[in-house]
Amino acid sequence: MGVNFIMNRDAAIWDYTFGQAGYTTSRLTKKKLMRGQDNDFRAVKCLDLFDGKPHCFDPSMLLSIKRYQRVSRLYGLRDTLWSKDNFCETMSASLRDFYVEREFVFPCWMLPRDYPILMKQVKNEYADRSFILKPTDRGEGSGIVIFDKASELPRWKRSFPDLDEVVVQTYLPNPYLIDGYKWDMRTYVLVTSIHPLRAYMFRDGLVRFAGTPYDPKRKAGALTNVSLNKNKTKSAEDLTWPFPKVYRWLKRKGHDPDQLWDRIEAAVTMMLLSAEPGFVKKFQKLQRGYACANCYQLLGVDVIVDDTVTPRVIEVNGEPSMQLSGQDGSQYDRTKKSMTHDLVQLVYSNDDSSLQLTADLMELELDGVRLGFEGSAAGCRADVYDVCLSQRDVEYLLEMKREEGKMDGARFDTLIDHLKTKFPGDVNEGSFRIHRVATALSKFTSRIRFQNSIDDPEYVE
């Protein structure tokens, strides 16, 4: 269900993927769903450009769906990360509190509101930088303007006469080039819990090239969006590489691609942690204590790499295109089919993980970690137990263990190291206190055997 142009674009791959997993798919309308018709579903795949309300369901429905039902929308994503203006707001707030995150994102401003602040910072920090300006109401690279000099900023309105608001970011002056072309990476990230955070980055993704060789004096070489560039005599297959190909390319050039992948995971994790407070506020407005346990969402996270092989997150797309090229055997189509297959296996597994979790918790206790359970007859005093697990914590860990067994081509990154980076003091005293479980249980969660690139023949010359 969703908006017609997204369904026409993407429904084919989801029909195919769910069909391969043994599910029957059917088109559903919001009106039927909200009236209680066809409500015995296993999954709602919402295909629209919002949090689901316009074309799929009202947020109130999330409070009444059954525990086994899953909905492909994270309530609040549109207001935190999935729009250029809200992404800018979320990351700017985080940058003010956590300077370390400047390594992973670009500073940004909203015009006209932040114009005085922008000009002050330009004078102090960015006088020699170029800037990229993006309309807040468009996608697929449409309407982007690049200012080569800061002196052009006062005339921004001339480039956007019909818009009330635009996002400004510093423009990367030193992109890493492949054969003279600028490129970025569309990484696919599956978020299955936002509070506490649980996310997976898929091993497979797409490297997207600009349509012309890079020339800092020519704006055409600056944009890498496939929707823009495939009209320039090149197909989607010509404009993209799968991750294994760029991995091998970087290795031949003497770089450590595994380190780059680790940095990308760190950047994505930091970004999601930064958004968590915004999600929690949205959840509390819907219902006190709500955590969107039935929700998941696939994100297209765009990352660009500079000539020091440092990645930065550009933006987040909450409905990344799953349109296929139609070319038989293309890497472009194979990457998307592989990723959607892994997603369905991971999200919709019915495996029982209780025995495995029990064994892991017992092992943790044998290692000296004192575990208590809230609501138990013995109670859970802080001076007796190292960690007190609530019923919700246990449910979270059960889901984590179930998903762990179905990761296939996805990688799960434990949060302990990122929490220590974000909160240099005691992690449990940080803003994200709910992550105490992942922190305390990091010893067994870190034992997950990833399907890393070094084990995959596609990544080897």
Q: Are 325 and 235 in contact (CB under 8 A)?
A: yes
Q: Across residues 394-415, what is the average pLDDT?
A: 73
Among the residue ranges 54-68, 153-167, 213-227, 436-450, the one predicted with the least confidence is 436-450
The CATH-assigned architecture of domain 107-170 is 2-Layer Sandwich (3.30)
Partner residues linked to 304 by β-bridges? 184, 312
Q: For the chain, give me the number of helices (H) and strands (E)?
A: 14, 15
Among the residue ranges 212-221, 277-286, 287-296, 424-433, the one predicted with the least confidence is 424-433
- Domains 107-170 and 183-193+201-347 belong to one CATH topology: no
Give the whole-angstrom CA distance, residue 410 versus residue 339. Answer: 8
Q: Across residues 345-352, what is the average pLDDT?
A: 87
Buried b (16+ CB within 10 A) or exposed e, 280-297: bebbeeeeeebbbbbbbb
pLDDT tens, 181-238? Answer: 999 999 999 999 887 788 888 888 899 998 888 987 775 456 655 554 455 556 666 7
- Burial (Cβ within 10 Å: 0-12, 13-18, ≥19) of residue 262: middle
CATH number of the domain located at residue range(s) 183-193+201-347 in this protein:
3.30.470.20
Q: Is the peptide bond before 154 cis (omega within 30 degrees of 0)?
A: no
Beta-carbon contacts of residue 219 (< 8 Å; ≥ 6 apart)? 146
Q: Across residues 389-406, what is the average pLDDT?
A: 82
Q: Across residues 433-454, what is the average pLDDT?
A: 42
Strands (E), 45-93: 70-71
* 240-242 vs 311-317, strand pairing mode: unpaired
Domain boundaries defined on the chain: 4-73, 107-170, 183-193+201-347, 354-454
